[in-house]
Structure 1
Amino acid sequence: MKLLLTSGGVRNPTIEGALVGLLGRPIGECSALCIPTALYGHPWVGPGKNARDFITGESDHMAGLGWGSVGVLELTALPSIPEDRWLPLVRETEVLLAAGGDALYLAYWMRRSGLADLVPTLTGTVYVGMSGGNMALTPRVGQEFVGWVPPDGEEVALLGLVDFSLFPHLDHPDLPDNTSAAAERWAASLGGPVYAIDDETTLVVDGGVEVVSEGSWRRLA
């Protein structure tokens, strides 16, 4: 699977160009599935208007990019329906769009739904994530970015599909705790490589890792 890991969605022409490069053809010729699941687990977001705005493309610069078709893949529903109702759909879709939210909640439902097991087989699919929608794919996130606690007390691990951690919304004016100094402290507490990126930056993962930016970012060890 090819990854476009954004902080604030596809917000500028440079990020959009990176997306088109991963797709290999125009956005309007590609099918996409929205995954709003991470929103529900975040204490500041939750269900309701934010999920509606994400799915309809009115927020987050993802679903409203002009895709050839856009559907919804709600992970919390998948365990209750037969796999033949959704597996073919995911295999045939070219892009998965993962909303931001709580990374641990998303990782939990990616496993419970079976999507996590499917991901390694989706070699031609592009995963476009925003904020917590990306952090679920990393090996470590730290308590600072976790707001959801499993109701059954189960230990939940992130997916570890990449070998680095991600600090989103770097120096965002509405998030005073997301400073460069905070990113440095957070990285030191985790161990391992960390990319701290602002909303005008994305990481392109296709074999290696490439930073594409019209803003600011840092790589921290």
Structure 2
Amino acid sequence: MKLLLTSGGVRNKSIHDALLDLLGKPIGEATALCIPTAGYANPGGINRAWTFIAGGPQNECPMTELGWKSVGVLELSVLPSLDPELWTPAVRAADVLLVNGGDPLFLHHWVRESGLAALLPALDDTVWVGLSAGSMIMAPRIGEDFVGWRPPTGDDSTLGIVDFSIFPHLGHPGLPENHMGAAEKWAASLPGPSYAMDDDTAIKIVGDTVEVVSEGNWTFFD
């Protein structure tokens, strides 16, 4: 699986170009599935889930409205009640998974409970495009600062597909608590490396190659 881990979606040309490089073809020839699940665990999440799915001018975090050949909706919380044959072929056939922001531990819980986590290692050519929480869950841990919904395990562990953690929305005017001092304290609480990044920054991963793509501000904490 190839990863494009964003804080605020595909917001600028640099991130857009990185997505095209990962896809290996125009967006208009690529099929997408969007995953709104993370949004439901936050206040106003029902409306935010619809905004993510619908896209359009009201969406500050472009994902579904980029001009895909087709976009389907993959709601993870319903998948355990379905025969896997009803949804796994669509996941295998998709060029890209667009994964919404919201509560990272709620999203991580349903990625595992749905069976999607078990399928990910087989998706060699699929591009995972994360938005905020959709990027954070690729880390080994998210850090206690970002724990809202508490999973049955009680801890802040996530998928561990990459070896670093992500502090999103650095310096966002609507999130005054997401300042650099808070990011430094958060990073110091984690045992491994991490990135703090603003909404004009993304991290592109192919195999063992990690590349920061940015028209904004970011910091690496080793």
TM bucket normalised to smaller: over 0.9
Q: Secondary structure at the match of 1:53?
A: helix
Corresponding residue number in structure 2 for 1:46: 45
Structure 2: distance between partners of 1:193 and 1:10 = 24
User: Following the alignment from structure 1 to structure 2, what is the Cα–Cα distance between the partners of residues 145 and 46?
Assistant: 16
Task: Name 1:31's counterpart in structure 2.
Answer: 31
Aligned to 1:201: 201
Q: Distance in 2 between matches of 1:213 and 1:114?
A: 33
Residue of structure 1 equivalent to 2:74 = 73
Alignment partner, residue 2 of structure 1: 2
Question: Is contact 1:167-1:195 (8 Å) kept?
Answer: yes
Aligned residue for 2:120?
119
Post-superposition offset of 1:173: 1.2
The alignment's TM-score, normalised by the length of structure 2, stands at 0.95
2:14 partner letter: T
1:94: Cα distance to partner? Answer: 0.5
Q: Matched residues in 2 for 1:135 and 1:14: separation?
A: 20
**Structure 1 CA distance, aligned partners of 2:213 and 2:3?**
13
Q: Which residue of 2 aligns with 1:143?
A: 144
Is the deviation greater in 51-60 or in 12-21? 51-60
Q: What is the root-mean-square deviation of aligned Cα atoms in Å?
A: 1.1
Distance 2:139 2:182 in 1: 19
AA of the residue aligned to 1:4: L
| Structure 1: tracts of 5 or more residues without a match | none
AA aligned to 2:164 is F
1:107·1:158 contact (CA, 8 Å) conserved in 2? yes
Pair 1:215 & 2:216 matched: yes
Aligned to 2:21: 21
Alignment-derived partner of residue 105 in structure 2: 104
**TM-score normalised per structure 1:** 0.95
Secondary structure of the residue aligned to 1:116 is helix
- What are the Cα deviations for residues 16-65 of structure 1, in whole angstroms up to 9, with x where unaligned? 000000000100100000000010122x3422x21111001132200000
Report if the CA contact (8 A) 1:45-1:101 is conserved: no
Q: Contact 1:100–1:131 at 8 Å: present in 2 too?
A: yes
Aligned length: 217
Q: CA deviation at 1:9?
A: 0.2
- Whole-angstrom CA distance in 2 between matches of 1:168 and 1:23: 24
Unaligned runs of 5+ in 2: none
Give the aligned partner of residue 175 of structure 1.
Answer: 175
The letter of the residue matching 2:51 is D
- Structure 1 runs (4+) greater than 4 angstroms displaced: none
2:55 is aligned to 57
Percent identity between matched residues is 57
The 3-state SS of whatever aligns with 2:124 is: coil
